Homo-oligomer: A and B are copies of this chain.
Protein backbone atom coordinates (compact mmCIF):
# COMPACT_ATOMS: atom_id res chain seq x y z
CA UNK A 1 0.00 0.00 0.00
CA UNK A 2 2.81 2.44 0.80
CA UNK A 3 4.68 4.27 -1.94
CA UNK A 4 8.32 3.43 -2.60
CA UNK A 5 9.78 6.73 -1.36
CA UNK A 6 8.82 7.80 2.17
CA UNK A 7 6.54 10.85 2.15
CA UNK A 8 8.07 14.09 3.41
CA UNK A 9 6.82 15.20 6.84
CA UNK A 10 5.68 18.50 5.34
CA UNK A 11 3.56 16.75 2.71
CA UNK A 12 1.98 14.47 5.32
CA UNK A 13 1.30 17.48 7.56
CA UNK A 14 -0.27 19.41 4.70
CA UNK A 15 -2.59 16.56 3.68
CA UNK A 16 -3.38 15.67 7.30
CA UNK A 17 -4.27 19.26 8.26
CA UNK A 18 -6.47 19.53 5.21
CA UNK A 19 -8.07 16.12 5.88
CA UNK A 20 -8.97 17.08 9.43
CA UNK A 21 -10.19 20.44 8.14
CA UNK A 22 -12.60 18.57 5.85
CA UNK A 23 -13.72 16.12 8.56
CA UNK A 24 -14.36 18.90 11.07
CA UNK A 25 -15.89 21.02 8.30
CA UNK A 26 -18.32 18.18 7.60
CA UNK A 27 -19.12 17.89 11.28
CA UNK A 28 -19.74 21.59 11.89
CA UNK A 29 -21.66 22.20 8.66
CA UNK A 30 -23.95 19.27 9.52
CA UNK A 31 -24.44 20.85 12.94
CA UNK A 32 -24.99 24.37 11.62
CA UNK A 33 -27.52 23.09 9.06
CA UNK A 34 -29.92 22.74 11.99
CA UNK A 35 -30.00 26.54 12.29
CA UNK A 36 -31.69 26.75 8.87
CA UNK A 37 -35.14 28.35 8.95
CA UNK A 38 -36.34 26.10 6.10
CA UNK A 39 -35.88 22.49 5.05
CA UNK A 40 -34.44 23.78 1.75
CA UNK A 41 -31.75 25.76 3.58
CA UNK A 42 -31.02 22.79 5.81
CA UNK A 43 -30.68 20.51 2.76
CA UNK A 44 -28.37 23.03 1.04
CA UNK A 45 -25.99 23.25 4.00
CA UNK A 46 -26.15 19.48 4.59
CA UNK A 47 -25.13 19.04 0.94
CA UNK A 48 -22.01 21.17 1.58
CA UNK A 49 -21.24 18.93 4.55
CA UNK A 50 -21.56 15.78 2.44
CA UNK A 51 -19.23 17.27 -0.20
CA UNK A 52 -16.62 17.97 2.50
CA UNK A 53 -16.85 14.39 3.67
CA UNK A 54 -16.14 13.20 0.12
CA UNK A 55 -13.02 15.39 0.15
CA UNK A 56 -11.96 13.92 3.48
CA UNK A 57 -12.23 10.45 1.96
CA UNK A 58 -10.05 11.41 -1.02
CA UNK A 59 -7.39 12.96 1.23
CA UNK A 60 -7.46 9.88 3.48
CA UNK A 61 -6.98 7.67 0.44
CA UNK A 62 -3.95 9.70 -0.64
CA UNK A 63 -2.46 9.50 2.85
CA UNK A 64 -3.00 5.73 2.75
CA UNK A 65 -1.08 5.60 -0.55
CA UNK A 66 1.74 7.44 1.22
CA UNK A 67 1.79 4.67 3.84
CA UNK A 68 0.20 6.57 6.73
CA UNK A 69 -3.18 6.34 8.45
CA UNK A 70 -5.18 9.58 8.26
CA UNK A 71 -6.62 9.09 11.76
CA UNK A 72 -3.09 8.98 13.22
CA UNK A 73 -1.52 11.91 11.37
CA UNK A 74 -4.56 14.18 11.81
CA UNK A 75 -4.22 14.18 15.61
CA UNK A 76 -1.81 17.18 15.81
CA UNK A 77 -4.37 19.37 14.04
CA UNK A 78 -7.48 18.45 16.02
CA UNK A 79 -7.05 20.97 18.85
CA UNK A 80 -6.40 24.01 16.65
CA UNK A 81 -9.30 23.31 14.31
CA UNK A 82 -11.75 22.52 17.09
CA UNK A 83 -10.70 25.70 18.89
CA UNK A 84 -11.34 27.67 15.71
CA UNK A 85 -14.80 26.10 15.38
CA UNK A 86 -15.63 26.59 19.08
CA UNK A 87 -14.63 30.25 19.05
CA UNK A 88 -16.57 30.95 15.86
CA UNK A 89 -19.66 28.80 16.50
CA UNK A 90 -22.49 30.52 14.61
CA UNK A 91 -25.54 31.40 16.69
CA UNK A 92 -27.77 32.40 13.78
CA UNK A 93 -28.44 30.88 10.39
CA UNK A 94 -26.86 33.88 8.64
CA UNK A 95 -23.69 33.53 10.68
CA UNK A 96 -23.51 29.88 9.65
CA UNK A 97 -23.92 30.93 5.99
CA UNK A 98 -21.18 33.56 6.32
CA UNK A 99 -18.89 31.06 8.02
CA UNK A 100 -19.50 28.41 5.33
CA UNK A 101 -18.49 30.90 2.65
CA UNK A 102 -16.02 33.34 4.25
CA UNK A 103 -14.33 30.94 6.69
CA UNK A 104 -14.09 28.14 4.14
CA UNK A 105 -12.90 30.57 1.44
CA UNK A 106 -10.13 31.90 3.63
CA UNK A 107 -8.94 28.41 4.59
CA UNK A 108 -9.09 27.34 0.94
CA UNK A 109 -6.94 30.32 -0.11
CA UNK A 110 -4.36 29.44 2.52
CA UNK A 111 -4.20 25.78 1.47
CA UNK A 112 -3.97 26.81 -2.19
CA UNK A 113 -0.94 28.95 -1.37
CA UNK A 114 0.75 26.05 0.43
CA UNK A 115 -0.24 23.62 -2.34
CA UNK A 116 1.74 25.72 -4.85
CA UNK A 117 4.83 24.55 -2.99
CA UNK A 118 3.96 20.84 -3.20
CA UNK A 119 4.47 18.34 -6.02
CA UNK A 120 2.10 18.56 -9.02
CA UNK A 121 -0.04 15.52 -8.07
CA UNK A 122 -0.59 16.83 -4.53
CA UNK A 123 -1.32 20.31 -5.86
CA UNK A 124 -3.93 18.90 -8.22
CA UNK A 125 -5.61 16.86 -5.47
CA UNK A 126 -5.66 19.84 -3.10
CA UNK A 127 -7.05 22.20 -5.72
CA UNK A 128 -9.80 19.72 -6.55
CA UNK A 129 -10.94 19.39 -2.92
CA UNK A 130 -11.03 23.15 -2.45
CA UNK A 131 -13.80 23.79 -4.96
CA UNK A 132 -16.36 26.31 -3.85
CA UNK A 133 -19.34 24.10 -4.89
CA UNK A 134 -21.85 26.93 -5.19
CA UNK A 135 -21.23 28.39 -1.74
CA UNK A 136 -20.72 31.91 -3.10
CA UNK A 137 -24.11 32.08 -4.87
CA UNK A 138 -25.87 30.54 -1.89
CA UNK A 139 -24.26 32.87 0.67
CA UNK A 140 -24.76 35.97 -1.48
CA UNK A 141 -28.44 35.25 -2.02
CA UNK A 142 -29.13 34.46 1.66
CA UNK A 143 -27.18 37.46 3.02
CA UNK A 144 -28.53 39.96 0.46
CA UNK A 145 -32.12 38.93 1.22
CA UNK A 146 -31.56 39.17 4.98
CA UNK A 147 -29.84 42.56 4.82
CA UNK A 148 -32.53 43.94 2.49
CA UNK A 149 -35.15 42.93 5.08
CA UNK A 150 -33.12 44.22 8.03
CA UNK A 151 -30.19 46.54 7.17
CA UNK A 152 -28.80 46.45 10.72
CA UNK A 153 -27.96 42.75 10.21
CA UNK A 154 -25.02 43.80 8.01
CA UNK A 155 -23.01 45.30 10.88
CA UNK A 156 -23.37 42.23 13.05
CA UNK A 157 -22.40 39.91 10.19
CA UNK A 158 -19.37 42.06 9.32
CA UNK A 159 -18.28 41.88 12.95
CA UNK A 160 -18.74 38.11 12.94
CA UNK A 161 -16.67 37.83 9.74
CA UNK A 162 -13.87 39.78 11.46
CA UNK A 163 -13.94 37.22 14.26
CA UNK A 164 -13.60 34.44 11.67
CA UNK A 165 -10.48 36.11 10.28
CA UNK A 166 -8.96 36.74 13.69
CA UNK A 167 -9.47 33.20 14.94
CA UNK A 168 -8.30 31.65 11.67
CA UNK A 169 -5.04 33.63 11.85
CA UNK A 170 -4.55 32.83 15.51
CA UNK A 171 -5.08 29.08 15.06
CA UNK A 172 -2.90 28.95 11.93
CA UNK A 173 -0.10 30.53 13.97
CA UNK A 174 -0.56 27.93 16.71
CA UNK A 175 -0.29 25.11 14.17
CA UNK A 176 2.77 26.56 12.43
CA UNK A 177 4.54 27.11 15.76
CA UNK A 178 4.20 23.37 16.37
CA UNK A 179 4.88 21.94 12.92
CA UNK A 180 8.41 22.73 11.84
CA UNK A 181 8.37 20.88 8.53
CA UNK A 182 5.18 22.57 7.38
CA UNK A 183 6.48 25.98 8.44
CA UNK A 184 9.76 25.34 6.64
CA UNK A 185 7.87 24.39 3.45
CA UNK A 186 5.85 27.58 3.67
CA UNK A 187 8.72 29.92 4.52
CA UNK A 188 11.25 28.43 2.13
CA UNK A 189 8.62 28.25 -0.60
CA UNK A 190 7.65 31.87 -0.13
CA UNK A 191 11.35 32.72 -0.43
CA UNK A 192 11.69 35.45 2.19
CA UNK A 193 9.68 37.78 4.41
CA UNK A 194 8.58 39.70 1.34
CA UNK A 195 7.26 36.44 -0.09
CA UNK A 196 5.29 35.77 3.09
CA UNK A 197 3.93 39.32 3.00
CA UNK A 198 2.82 38.75 -0.59
CA UNK A 199 1.03 35.55 0.40
CA UNK A 200 -0.80 37.31 3.24
CA UNK A 201 -1.72 40.15 0.88
CA UNK A 202 -3.23 37.74 -1.65
CA UNK A 203 -5.28 35.95 1.03
CA UNK A 204 -6.45 39.26 2.49
CA UNK A 205 -7.44 40.65 -0.86
CA UNK A 206 -9.50 37.57 -1.76
CA UNK A 207 -11.18 37.79 1.64
CA UNK A 208 -12.12 41.40 0.90
CA UNK A 209 -13.58 40.38 -2.46
CA UNK A 210 -15.84 37.89 -0.71
CA UNK A 211 -16.98 40.49 1.83
CA UNK A 212 -17.74 42.91 -1.00
CA UNK A 213 -19.74 40.24 -2.83
CA UNK A 214 -21.78 39.70 0.34
CA UNK A 215 -22.31 43.45 0.67
CA UNK A 216 -20.54 43.40 4.03
CA UNK A 217 -17.37 45.35 3.28
CA UNK A 218 -16.95 48.51 5.29
Residue numbers of A with Cβ under 8 A of B are 23, 26-27, 30-31, 33-34, 38-40, 42-43, 46-47, 49-50, 53-54, 56-57, 60, 70-71, 74-75, 78
Q: Which residue of B30, B40, B47, B60 contacts A43 across the interface (Cβ within 8 Å)? A: B60
Docked-complex contact B49 and A53, CB < 8 angstroms = yes
Chief secondary structure at chain A's binding surface: helix
Q: Which residue of B34, B38, B54, B74 contacts A39 across the interface (Cβ within 8 Å)? A: B74
CA–CA, A193 to B31, complex, Å?
A: 43
Docked-complex contact B26 and A50, CB < 8 angstroms = yes
Q: Report the minimum CB–CB distance from A48 to chain B (whole Å).
A: 10
- Chain B residues whose CB sits within 8 angstroms of the CB of A30 once the complex forms: 26-27, 30-31, 49
Q: Which residue of B31, B40, B54, B75 contacts A50 across the interface (Cβ within 8 Å)? A: B54
A27-B34 contact given A47-B57, A53-B46, A57-B47, CB 8 Å threshold: yes
A44: nearest chain-B partner, CB-CB: B71
- Chain B residues whose CB sits within 8 angstroms of the CB of A33 once the complex forms: 27
CA–CA, A42 to B78, complex, Å?
A: 13
Docked-complex contact A23 and B42, CB < 8 angstroms = yes
Q: Report the minimum CB–CB distance from A172 to chain B (whole Å).
A: 21
Q: Report the minimum CB–CB distance from A133 to chain B (whole Å).
A: 13
Q: Report the minimum CB–CB distance from A198 to chain B (whole Å).
A: 35
